[in-house]
Amino acid sequence: MSVQQSDPIAEQPDPRPITPLSDPFDVALRVPGSKSLTNRHLVLAALARGTTVLEHPLRADDCDRLCTALARIGARVRREADRAVIEGTGGRFPCGGTIDLGDGGTPSRFMIAAALLAAAPVTIDGSPRMRERPVAEGLHLIRQLGASVQSLGAEDHLPVRITPPARCRGGVVDAPAMRSGQFVSALMLVAPWLDDGIHIRLRGGVTSPSYIELSAAALRERGAVVDLALDAPEPFVRVAPGPVVGDGTVAIEPDASSAAYFAVAAAIHRASHVTLIGLPRTSIQPDAAVLGIVERAGAVVESGGDGPVPWTRVSHRAGPRPLSFDASRFPDGALACAALAARATGPTRIDGLHTLVHKESDRLAALSSELARIGIRTKTAGDSIEIDPGAAHPHPAVIETWNDHRIAMTFAVIGLVRPGISIRDPGCVAKSYPGFWSDLDRLVER
């Protein structure tokens, strides 16, 4: 069993052929840090007073752009090997500026809220795809808190110029039905520095509750007081005003979303094993739920690490058998589950995917289109997809990634057990996992 670290992304052929596995593998690896946790702790550290050290943060396009954005409006961010050092601003960014978040959905939405605490207007822009993605809900929320918003392109889409109020007091905010729960998380992250904190009444129900809970956990880790009632008849989120611990070190878990692909790779290839170093089975990251799905499908999932370094080990045993499940609490992980379904012994149905159409691509459309290239039938209805591998064929196929890192990873994993797959635009994985191709090759080159 080999234990290695991820390498920076290397120059890849385009399209990139996937080498099928010929033998079982037994590999241990530590995937990069959690994107969700890195982004949340970057915002908290940038607003706190003092210096925060993040250990094992994700170094990828999304997080790098958020670091640049926070530095542009006054935080000091320094990268040192496998850590980030952030000198906070004490609750008020000293300047404004123009920032480009590229394809970063989470960074864009977090910066919309962060602009409330800037000393000058902040202009937020992104890629053509990000200009299409919904931000109107977040703009509606910050208008309730006194911000002035000027659309510089299409109404209520990026780019926007946000002029913060002279003093943002916070208080009660009504949130209508939302296509993204990231706007709720964004307000939660800035709430401790608002005079009255924040009380968000979720009038339209709760979108992505698991990620709201992740934000609450990050806030509590830094000493904030958070009250959630997501299952109540009148759900709400409340974050009290007050100091957040600044000086100190925060260890970022490995990214469960990225680890899920290697868990699936082990689950679909005979006699194979992967040990995910640093990732506890009990991780609060939503996509850790994929471990339970691969177990239900027939794999063996073990965990340990009572010492300083936890681990989770996934081993092929049988199947994968077809399943039916709701992925509303781990929608990003549903992409890895689609790779599992593509090798199942019958049709799999995945429900709860209403947020996927608003991601880096329309992921339901992307899955249907690209699975069809390898003969796998799909049926989408509302927020569900049924994947039937019964008519899969062995003919060569070039997979279009739709500029979406998760689509690339999904079909790369399928390509380990289905010959003839090549991945167009392999560099798109840099958004969340620059070393993905190097780590994937470790399963083949042992």
- Cα–Cα distances (Å) from 274 to 257, 259, 262, 303, in that order, read 15, 10, 7, 12
Residue 374 tokens read as 């390898």
CB 291 within 8 A of CB 281: yes
Contact 263, 291 (CB under 8 A): yes
CA end-to-end distance (rounded Å), the chain: 9
Under 8 Å between Cβ of 200 and 238: yes
Q: In what order do the strands lie in the sheet with 300-304?
A: 2-5, 26-30, 273-277, 311-315, 300-304
Name the strand (E) or helix (H) holding 222: none
Question: Are 316 and 25 a contacting pair, CB within 8 Å?
Answer: no
Give the three-state DSSP class for 16. strand
**Three-state DSSP string of 109-177:** HHHHHHHHHECCCEEEECCHHHHHCCCHHHHHHHHHCCCEEEECCCCCCCCEEEECCCCCCCEEEEECC
Give SS3 for 346.
coil
380 forms bridges with which residues in the sheet? Answer: 385
- Catalytic residue at 332? yes
Q: Quick check: 121 and 150 in contact, CB under 8 A?
A: no
Pairing relationship of beta strands 51-55 and 26-30 according to DSSP bridges: unpaired
**Cis peptide leading into residue 280 (ω within 30°):** no
Biggest distance spanned by C-alpha atoms of the chain:
64
Q: Which entry of 62, 125, 332, 404 is annotated as an active-site residue?
A: 332
- Supply the residues annotated as catalytic: 332
